[in-house]
């Protein structure tokens, strides 16, 4: 009796294991097919993230269309980066090749992940790490979510570019960009100005330890590849605070990194009435030109980077820079024409 | 930690499930406990100690109650009949004191963290108007995650043990798991130990169908939250924040859209929670049952946030209506009133406590208290005037069994609920009044005319969002209708051929990925009820 009962249990367990194995097989097949579909969508989303209009083709994937190890200066961070630094102008000013890598709302774990990918193709001598994105994830759960997202984005970038999936015309766009990551914007929308915006304070914004850890890993990666790292705070009226500045200064001294806070340094030069595209969040073309001038000067003063202008190997950069200028001029003329038309309609 | 984050859905839930099913069934509850503690630590850090203290109070209280009962049962048979009653009454008094003390402590923590500043600021205003110099200082208090939900579960546990509805749990950690169980900690459903406690104690084996049904419920919850609710957030935020800029149709749309948003947000969260639990083989109670098919406000509250309504009925309404004062009131009513009002008046009076409780539970603001009173007035009036309505209907020869009457009732309830939602969402009571009035002021597009195009809030998908919203409402309506008719959609899909079935599931997952309102430009839109 006992034996039969044991046999019965054994049979039951065996059947359960078999059915569990079958279930696991089904689940894995389902996930496999789903993975393939997501991979296909991801590929499409990366292609649609580009633009057929050369002036608005600022996709970060453009860096991988550049010649290997041809970029001298890399700026990496969130939307402030693609709004605030014009590589074509930097070339015009100093003959330095650069790329502005910024994804909207980019987080430090993503920065680290992107840097690893970039270093497979490029070896910039100077890397500016934008610090605005160090203040985004304040809570542990936010940081863990950012780490997860950074991991998912690698095989499935559709989670990053899913809103671009309706731009079918961009299938025809090119990987290679003349903007080198910069997004042209000419709107000027003034923010609500605060009286004590730049007033000094002793307060220091806390940077979450996980955020800091990822920044340190990024810095370590850059140093290992022989790049000099600079912590850069691109002007942003809405998001900059004096306590953020203090936190960045403290971080810079602890990590032995130079800090370039252009919010404070350029407070006289940046006119928030004319230099921001969206009420103080991001710079427009006018503001970005000023920042690029300042960066060119900073690089000239602190680094011995080669001026490639006139070097036949860099002819394409000269052409791209001219093409960019041409596109900007066309856009300005187009805007003036639209303005006149509107005025005439109004009259 | 919101349930619609990558971290929750993939590494957290995935790893928990894997370890859970790799463990022998009798130890699986410990995996849930560890996962729940980790979840709470990530979300609320050291505030987990508050939750542990609450558990300690009800654990100790329940054991005490059972010890009193055991002592009574031991001597019961040795006692003469007349003394038995006396001992039983003493035991009940003792247990009543334990329940009272436990409730004072755990509700005290809730009231202190949630209402201290509200009470303080109102008392300060009062003292100021009475020219009293003293002031109650404001404190920076942080509420532990889910305190409004787990406190009610804790009260129900200790009360149910004293009512002999469930035995006292001897294992502290099992009771801790009942309160901290991660799928219910953020937004409920408010659980009862008889149900969830038993589920958590049961040794669950892997069940493929339950596992898949759970995953499907999560995906449906994500569709509700990330596609339906979150896309609407911009419109709702704009209209309710800058309400003085809008009137007429824009405000009416704002109110309707908010009602849809909060329904999708809350039901979506509960579905993700129920789906998560079901993947572990654990069933949670329903919190919504097609509330917009209700024919009255009372029925709406039996279908909307069911677990809160049921809790208020069991632990507020019954104790009030069975109290000595209400027994006396009932007796007096029977003496002086006809049969209908003799029953309706005391019941309606007892309901005041329920609706005040409902309002206050939602938050420390006057608008929430008024929200509770608003429903109380409607239910009180409908109860008191029912005989009058009966007479009017009889005179007008209205056939109440006709479908048209049913539809009229549903539409009437819909309007009542929407007005309630406007009060609920408005910045404050003044703003609610302003918006209700401004609905009747024709809309002059002027400077803000672009809102209908959604462009004021910089949305490039205006037409798509409007069209999507219409599709969403239609879809939710038909899903609700199917449930009303007793059709189980998940089971119907499961009966389909595998290709079709998988196409539906994959389509749903891809829809969340493609159309979800997440990522840059959206920020993280917290679950609305997580704030309560």
> What is the 3-state secondary structure of B498-523?
HHHHHHHHHHHHHHHHHHCCCCCCCC
Peptide bond into B189 cis (omega under 30): yes
What is the β-pairing status of strands A126-130 and A228-233?
A: parallel
Digit-coded pLDDT (tens) for A142-189: 999 999 999 999 999 999 999 889 889 999 999 999 999 999 999 999
- What are the residue boundaries of the structural domains of chain A, listed by start? 49-346
Mean pLDDT of A262-287: 96
Contacts of B5 (CB under 8 A, 6+ apart): A141, A145, A148, B524
Q: Which residue of B has its CA nearest to A160?
A: B519
What is the β-pairing status of strands A98-102 and A73-77?
A: parallel
Q: Give the integer Cα–Cα distance in Å for B365 and B370.
A: 9
Interface of A with B in 83-112 (CB under 8 A): 103-105
A10 contacts chain B (CB < 8 A): no
Name the pTM for this structure.
0.90
- Secondary structure (DSSP) of B114-159: HHHHHHHHHHHHHHHHTT----PPP----PPTTHHHHHHHHHHHHH
3-state helix, strand, coil in chain B (%, to 5): 75, 0, 25
> What is the 3-state secondary structure of A41-78?
HHHHHHHHCCCCCHHHCCCHHHHHHCCCCCCCEEEEEC
Q: What confidence score (pLDDT) does residue B522 get?
A: 66
A49 contacts chain B (CB < 8 A): no
Is residue B120 within 8 Å of B148, Cβ to Cβ? no
- Determine, for residues B6 and A23 on separate chains, whether the beta-carbon distance falls below 8 Å: no
Q: Give the integer Cα–Cα distance in Å for A275 and A289.
A: 9
Q: Give the integer Cα–Cα distance in Å for B52 and B276.
A: 23
Chain B closest-CA separation from residue A149 CA (Å): 6
A141 contacts chain B (CB < 8 A): yes
- Determine, for residues B519 and A148 on separate chains, whether the beta-carbon distance falls below 8 Å: no
> Band of the pLDDT at A344, cuts 50, 70, 90?
confident
- Determine, for residues A33 and B502 on separate chains, whether the beta-carbon distance falls below 8 Å: yes
Length of chain B equals: 532
Q: What confidence score (pLDDT) does residue B456 get?
A: 47
User: Using CB atoms within 10 A of its CB, is residue B303 exposed (0-12), middle (13-18) or buried (19+)?
Assistant: middle
Q: Is the pLDDT of residue A134 over 80?
A: yes
Q: Is A338 helix (H, G, I), strand (E, B) or coil?
A: helix
Overall CATH class of domain A49-346: alpha beta
| Nearest alpha carbon to residue B195 among B317, B284, B93 | B284
Q: What confidence score (pLDDT) does residue A2 get?
A: 46
Which of A11-25, A238-252, A308-322 comes out lowest in average pLDDT? A11-25
Chain A residues lying within 8 Å of B42, measured CB to CB: 140-141, 144
Chain B closest-CA separation from residue A297 CA (Å): 32
Q: Give the integer Cα–Cα distance in Å for A183 and A277.
A: 11
| Nearest alpha carbon to residue A207 among A129, A108, A80 | A108
Q: A234 phi and psi, to 5 degrees? A: -75, 140
For chain A, what is the largest distance between any 2 Cα atoms, rounded to a whole number of angstroms? Answer: 103
Q: What confidence score (pLDDT) does residue B455 get?
A: 43
Closest in B42, B208, B513 to A162, CB measured: B513
Q: What confidence score (pLDDT) does residue B70 get?
A: 93
Q: Give ∠ CA B262-B421-B371 in degrees, rounded to 5.
A: 125
Residue in A28, A141, A154, A281 to test binding to B, most B beta-carbons within 10 Å: A141
Mean pLDDT of A325-334: 95
Q: Which residue of A has its CA nearest to B45?
A: A140
pLDDT-above-70 percentage for chain A: 95
Q: Is A260 helix (H, G, I), strand (E, B) or coil?
A: strand
| Nearest alpha carbon to residue A221 among A73, A131, A114, A67 | A114
Chain A residues lying within 8 Å of B510, measured CB to CB: 37-38, 41
C-alpha distances (whole Å) from B440 to each of B252, B257, B432, B434, B437 are 9, 18, 14, 11, 6
Neighbouring C-beta atoms of residue A337, cutoff 10 Å: 10
Residue in A103, A109, A140 to test binding to B, most B beta-carbons within 10 Å: A140
Instruction: Give the torsion through C-alpha atoms of A273, A277, A282, A288, to 10 deg.
Output: -80
Digit-coded pLDDT (tens) for A192-232: 999 899 999 999 999 999 999 999 999 999 999 999 999 99
Interface of A with B in 62-81 (CB under 8 A): 79
Ranges of chain B whose pLDDT falls below 50 = 453-458
| Nearest alpha carbon to residue B285 among B307, B252, B301, B304 | B307
Strand ranges for A221-300 from DSSP E: 228-233, 259-261
Please, which residues bridge with residue A73 across strands? Answer: A98, A126
Residue in B1, B2, B7, B203 to test binding to A, most A beta-carbons within 10 Å: B7
Q: Give the integer Cα–Cα distance in Å for B320 and B347.
A: 10
- What are the residue boundaries of the structural domains of chain B, listed by start? 31-203, 207-284+434-532, 301-425
Q: Is the pLDDT of residue A30 over 60?
A: yes
| Nearest alpha carbon to residue B276 among B2, B499, B9 | B9
Closest in B5, B208, B509 to A34, CB measured: B509
For chain B, what is the largest distance between any 2 Cα atoms, rounded to a whole number of angstroms? Answer: 87
| Nearest alpha carbon to residue A154 among A42, A32, A41 | A42
């Amino acid at each position: 009796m006992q034996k039969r009962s044991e046999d019965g249990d054994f049979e039951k367990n065996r059947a359960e294991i078999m059915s569990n194995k079958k279930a696991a097989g089904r689940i894995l097949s389902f996930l496999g097919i789903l993975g393939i579909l997501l991979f296909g969508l991801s590929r499409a989303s990366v292609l649609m993230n580009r633009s057929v209009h050369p002036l608005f083709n600022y996709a970060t994937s453009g860096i991988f269309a550049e010649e290997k190890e041809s970029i001298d200066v890399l700026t990496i961070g969130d939307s402030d980066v693609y709004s605030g630094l014009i590589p074509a102008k930097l070339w015009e000013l100093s003959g330095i090749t650069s790329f502005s890598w910024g994804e909207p709302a980019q987080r430090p774990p993503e920065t680290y992940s992107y840097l690893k990918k970039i270093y497979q193709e490029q070896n910039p001598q100077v890397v500016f790490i934008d610090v605005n994105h160090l203040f985004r994830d304040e809570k542990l759960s936010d940081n863990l979510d950012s780490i997860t997202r950074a991991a998912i984005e690698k095989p499935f970038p559709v989670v990053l570019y899913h809103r671009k999936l309706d731009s079918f015309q961009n299938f025809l766009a090119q990987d290679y960009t003349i903007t080198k990551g910069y997004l042209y914007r000419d709107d000027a929308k003034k923010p609500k100005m605060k009286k004590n915006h730049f007033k000094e304070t002793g307060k220091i914004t806390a940077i979450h330890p996980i955020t800091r850890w990822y920044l340190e890993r990024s810095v370590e990666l850059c140093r290992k590849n022989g790049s000099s790292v600079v912590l850069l705070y691109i002007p942003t009226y809405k998001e900059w605070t004096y306590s953020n500045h203090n936190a960045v200064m403290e971080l810079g001294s602890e990590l032995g990194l130079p800090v370039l806070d252009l919010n404070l340094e350029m407070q006289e030069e940046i006119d928030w009435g004319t230099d921001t595209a969206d009420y103080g969040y991001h710079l427009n073309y006018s503001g970005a030109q000023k920042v690029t001038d300042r960066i060119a000067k900073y690089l000239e003063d602190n680094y011995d980077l080669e001026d490639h202008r006139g070097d036949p190997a860099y002819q394409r950069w000269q052409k791209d820079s001219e093409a960019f200028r041409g596109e900007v001029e066309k856009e300005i003329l187009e805007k003036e024409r639209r303005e006149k038309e509107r005025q005439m309609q109004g009259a | 930690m919101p349930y619609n984050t990558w971290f929750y859905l993939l590494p957290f839930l995935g790893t928990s499930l894997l370890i859970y099913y790799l463990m022998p069934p009798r130890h699986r509850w410990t995996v849930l406990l560890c996962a729940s503690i980790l979840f709470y630590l990530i979300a609320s850090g050291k505030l987990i100690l508050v939750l542990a203290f609450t558990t300690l109070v009800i654990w100790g209280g329940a054991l005490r109650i059972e010890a009193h009962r055991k002592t009574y049962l031991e001597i019961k048979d040795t006692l003469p009949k007349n003394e038995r009653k006396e001992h039983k009454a003493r035991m009940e008094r003792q247990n009543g004191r334990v329940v009272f003390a436990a409730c004072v402590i755990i509700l005290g923590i809730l009231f202190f963290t949630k209402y201290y500043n509200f009470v303080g600021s109102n008392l300060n205003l009062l003292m100021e108007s009475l020219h009293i110099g003293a002031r109650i200082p404001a404190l920076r208090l942080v509420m532990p995650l889910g305190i409004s939900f787990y406190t009610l579960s804790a009260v129900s546990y200790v009360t149910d043990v004293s009512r002999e509805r469930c035995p006292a749990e001897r294992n502290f950690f099992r009771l801790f798991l009942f309160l901290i169980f991660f799928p219910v900690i953020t937004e409920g459903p408010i659980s009862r130990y008889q149900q969830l406690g038993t589920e958590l104690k049961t040794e669950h084996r892997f069940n493929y169908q339950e596992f898949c049904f759970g995953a499907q419920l999560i995906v449906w919850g994500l569709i509700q939250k990330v596609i339906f609710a979150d896309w609407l957030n911009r419109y709702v935020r704009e209209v309710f924040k800058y309400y003085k800029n809008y009137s007429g149709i824009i405000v009416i749309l704002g109110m309707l859209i908010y009602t849809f948003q909060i329904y999708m947000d809350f039901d979506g969260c509960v579905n993700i929670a129920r789906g998560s639990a079901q993947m572990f083989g654990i069933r949670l109670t329903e919190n919504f049952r097609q509330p917009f098919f209700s024919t009255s406000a009372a029925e709406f509250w039996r279908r909307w946030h069911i677990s809160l309504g049921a809790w208020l009925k069991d632990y507020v309404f019954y104790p009030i209506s069975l109290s000595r004062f209400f027994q006396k009131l009932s007796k007096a009513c029977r003496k002086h009133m006809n049969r209908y009002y003799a029953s309706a008046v005391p019941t309606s009076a007892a309901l005041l406590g329920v609706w005040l409780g409902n309002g206050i539970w939602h938050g420390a603001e006057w608008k929430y208290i008024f929200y509770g009173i608003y429903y109380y007035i409607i239910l009180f009036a409908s109860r008191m005037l029912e005989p009058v309505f009966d007479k009017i209907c009889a005179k007008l020869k209205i056939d109440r069994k006709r479908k048209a009457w049913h539809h009229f009732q549903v539409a009437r309830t819909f309007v009542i609920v929407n007005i309630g939602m406007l009060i609920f969402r408005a910045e404050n009571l003044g703003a609610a009044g302003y918006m209700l009035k401004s609905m009747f002021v024709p809309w002059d597009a002027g400077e803000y005319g672009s809102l209908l195009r959604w462009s004021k809030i910089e949305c490039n998908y205006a037409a798509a969002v409007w069209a999507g919203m219409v599709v969403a409402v239609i879809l939710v309506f038909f899903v609700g209708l199917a449930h009303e008719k007793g059709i189980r959609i998940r089971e119907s899909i499961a009966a389909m051929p595998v290709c079709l079935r998988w196409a539906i599931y994959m389509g749903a997952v891809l829809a969340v990925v493609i159309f979800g309102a997440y990522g840059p430009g959206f920020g993280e839109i917290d679950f609305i009820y997580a704030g309560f």
